[in-house]
Amino acid sequence: MYEVFFNECQLSFTTETNISSKDNISQIIGIEHITDFFALLSAIEGGHSVSTRQISCLASPELLKTLSESLKQISAAGGLVTDRKGRFLFIRRFGRWDLPKGAIEKNESAAQAAVREVEEETGLGQLEIRKELPETFHLYRSPHIRSENNWVLKKTSWFEMFHHGNGITVPQTEEDIEAARWFEPEELDEVFVSTYASLRKMLTFRFG
């Protein structure tokens, strides 16, 4: 089973048929054709026919492969930065708290891209990667794809980093970043209530 987020919905894709209430899945949807999947996304997008934010999509292995091949895929990377005071850095963009991230460039590793994006979006240097964090996957529509089903699947690789410098940030305003703020651990509830579902899942793994 693997998970993809679209808006605030968590879509869990599985080939298993013995899903039960113990899995904490409150809505199970069978996906027999690729058109069923696009119809589901449209229903979520329009706020129709979806009764929960957690959905299990039951599909054959062959269909899962077809679904993957039918979506434009983008790889990105980003970082959760901490400092010597034990604080964590978040950026605010489009009214929500987020982590700095961006597309992985040609001939660049995910780790290299993560460090570069944090440096560009927050103005921080002196970054050291400490460990990898869980990857996240989310779907969105691209206005650059001329198709009714203009869906993009973005995979983001995350890394926890340590900042060895003075902590002074310079938000990259040309990328619509409104602020870059250090949060004390006890202040993280403010982030959780105003961030994206995919990021919330990863942060829950990190902070427990």
Domain boundaries along the sequence of the chain: 2-70, 74-207
Residue whose pair of structure tokens reads 């929500």 in the numeric block: 96
b vs e for 21-34, b when ≥16 Cβ sit within 10 Å of the residue's Cβ? eeeebeeebebeeb
The dihedral built from the CA positions of residue 180, 183, 188 and 193, taken in this order, carries a sign that is negative
Specify the pTM: 0.90
* Residue range 62-108, pLDDT digits in tens: 998 888 888 999 999 999 999 999 999 999 999 999 999 999 999 99
The pLDDT of 23-42, averaged and rounded, is: 83
Element (H, E) at 110: helix 110-122
Q: What local confidence, expressed as pLDDT, does residue 73 receive?
A: 94
pLDDT digits (tens, 9 = 90+) for 111-164: 999 999 999 999 999 999 999 999 999 999 998 888 888 999 999 999 999 999
Residues 149-177 pLDDT 10s: 899 999 999 999 999 999 999 999 999 99
Q: What's the topology of domain 74-207?
A: Nucleoside Triphosphate Pyrophosphohydrolase (3.90.79)
- Residue 49 binned pLDDT confidence (cut-offs 50, 70, 90): low
